[in-house]
Amino acid sequence: MGERLLDVNDLHVHFATEDGVVRAVDGVSFELERGDVFGIVGESGSGKSVTAMTLMGLTRGVNAHFEGEVMYKGKDLLNISEREFQDYRGAEIGMIFQDPMTSLNPVYRIGDQIVEAIRAHEGVDRRTAQRRAVELLRQVGIPNPESRVDDFPHQFSGGMRQRAMIAIALSCNPDILIADEPTTALDVTIQAQIIELISRLKDDFNSAVILITHDLGVVADIADDIIVMYAGRVVERAATRELFYNPQMPYTWGLLGSIPRLDRPRPERLHSIKGAPPSLINMPPGCKFRPRCPHAFEKCTQEPQLENHVESAAHLDRCWLDTDYKRAHRDATISGGHTEAA
């Protein structure tokens, strides 16, 4: 589509802890081009947030160990110095986080926090920066930005705070915006507005977006491509439509099935994926989803590779199941009803 901005190749992020080595991200690859909206979907502990924070260099520490490459415009972000990274953060890659109330410093005015972001990278004077802050607030849809720019975070509502966060993240025109669960802490009605805002701003600022969430409903609208992560790995990857209409991983089926749907017969119980994600320290051998998968069989003791099994060449998945079998059982699994015998 557009210019290739980001190239993540086989990223591994391990943390040494007193209980063992936590393999938070275990071989993740994807690419991002200008104008894309890229979705990363998974449960807590799947490694999606760690991946995002690694792109910003926020996971660096004494106990962190990185492998692979994160190529941004030709430079491997895993190898640059902290000083260099400071220049990238905010100016080239911006990030917004899950809880806007705690992500904003409560003792500084909103305008000052935006100005701070601007002046960290651009040598403009306060007045110019202040004017830009007002403009940014207007762009993110805050009414009366001239007066609200002097408010404190606690005077904003949740949705407005997230808009302010977006304004801060975009203040230096970064080429990539990473949104880590931007709507999880907000009301459902506000969620839609924020997602729509992100999409619109992506076009206005001509940048790319990485959208991280556990909720497939959130990415359905605006994402172009999606990867599904589980236990630190990518288990499925496809263009959005393809993922929703032809999902190949039983885990993805579980995620889709756990979205309450109005157009399906009402199940007796709200469908959920039983069990819990595996410990990232002592991972079971073979397919990581096996213990929770109703369709697991002997071959699953061997770890599947991320491969293409369907017509659409860009659609990869990590599952041994035969595609016909999947087609036969998929809908039943998703809707939680009874199955026919194989």
Contacting positions for another protein (CB under 8 A): 56, 58, 85-91, 94-95, 97, 99, 102-107, 116-117, 120-121, 152, 154-155, 165, 168-169, 254, 273-275, 278-279, 282-284, 290-299, 301, 321-322, 325, 329, 332-333, 336-339, 341-342
**Minimum distance, C-beta of residue 103 to another protein, in the bound complex (Å):** 4
Of 1 and 61, which has the nearer Cβ to another protein? 61
Q: Rounded to whole angstroms, how far apart are CA atoms 277 and 298?
A: 20
Of 147 and 189, which has the nearer Cβ to another protein? 147
**Minimum distance, C-beta of residue 294 to another protein, in the bound complex (Å):** 5
**Minimum distance, C-beta of residue 116 to another protein, in the bound complex (Å):** 7
List the 208-213 sheet strands across, edge first.
93-96, 176-180, 208-213, 37-41, 225-230, 233-239, 316-317, 307-308
**Minimum distance, C-beta of residue 293 to another protein, in the bound complex (Å):** 7
Q: Rounded to whole angstroms, how far apart are CA atoms 230 and 218?
A: 18
Of 168 and 256, which has the nearer Cβ to another protein? 168
Sign of CA dihedral 217, 218, 220, 224: negative
Q: Rounded to whole angstroms, how far apart are CA atoms 5 and 100?
A: 27
DSSP state of 207: -
Alpha carbon of 31 to those of 121, 233, 340: distances in Å? 26, 15, 40
C-alpha distance across the termini of the chain, in Å: 42
**Minimum distance, C-beta of residue 250 to another protein, in the bound complex (Å):** 9
Of 82 and 189, which has the nearer Cβ to another protein? 82
Q: What are phi and psi of 83, to 5 degrees?
A: -60, -45
**Minimum distance, C-beta of residue 252 to another protein, in the bound complex (Å):** 14
Of 43 and 99, which has the nearer Cβ to another protein? 99
What is the number of other CB atoms lying within 10 angstroms of the CB of residue 273? 18
Of 10 and 84, which has the nearer Cβ to another protein? 84
Q: Is residue 338 within 8 Å of 332, Cβ to Cβ? A: yes
One-letter amino acid at 323 equals: T
Of 117 and 211, which has the nearer Cβ to another protein? 117
One-letter amino acid at 278 equals: P
Alpha helices in the chain (DSSP H): 48-55, 82-88, 100-103, 110-121, 126-139, 145-148, 158-170, 188-205, 216-222, 240-245, 250-257, 323-335
**Minimum distance, C-beta of residue 288 to another protein, in the bound complex (Å):** 10
Q: What would the two tokens of residue 173 be?
A: 């025109």
Of 29 and 309, which has the nearer Cβ to another protein? 309
**Minimum distance, C-beta of residue 234 to another protein, in the bound complex (Å):** 21
Of 166 and 197, which has the nearer Cβ to another protein? 166
Q: What would the two tokens of residue 142 be?
A: 């805050």
**Minimum distance, C-beta of residue 239 to another protein, in the bound complex (Å):** 27
